[in-house]
Amino acid sequence: MSDEKPCQELPKHYMSIGRRYEKYGDVLSDLGRVVREIGPIDDKTSQLIQLAASAAIRSEGAVHSHARQAMEQGASSEEVYQSLLLLTSTIGFPNVAAAISWVDDLFKD
């Protein structure tokens, strides 16, 4: 997980797996970097797409991570929340509400 561009903080469990299985962690980091570099989608939009996918699979940790990274790449909080609201007809209100509550966690002191 050597070349991963650090955001504020990578999830502890993700880091733990990378330390326990170093080659696997390196491959994960490389995969993330490569798929971001192979096409025209900018980093902010990439993070918003990954945020939407994270909400769809109800992954609280990934929602935290991708929302934080999207904002670090210049997304406003309004863009982050709209990215989730747009999913309502696809993944349903309960899933969207859960994802919104996880993003709200980022703004708690």
pLDDT the model gives residue 45: 97
Domain edges within the chain = 1-39, 42-109
Q: How far is CA 40 from CA 26, 30, 36, 37, in A?
A: 24, 18, 9, 8
pLDDT at 8: 52
Residues of the chain with pLDDT under 70: 1-9, 109
User: Alpha-carbon torsion 28, 30, 32, 38, what sign?
Assistant: negative
Question: CATH for 42-109?
Answer: 1.20.1290.10
Record the pTM.
0.83
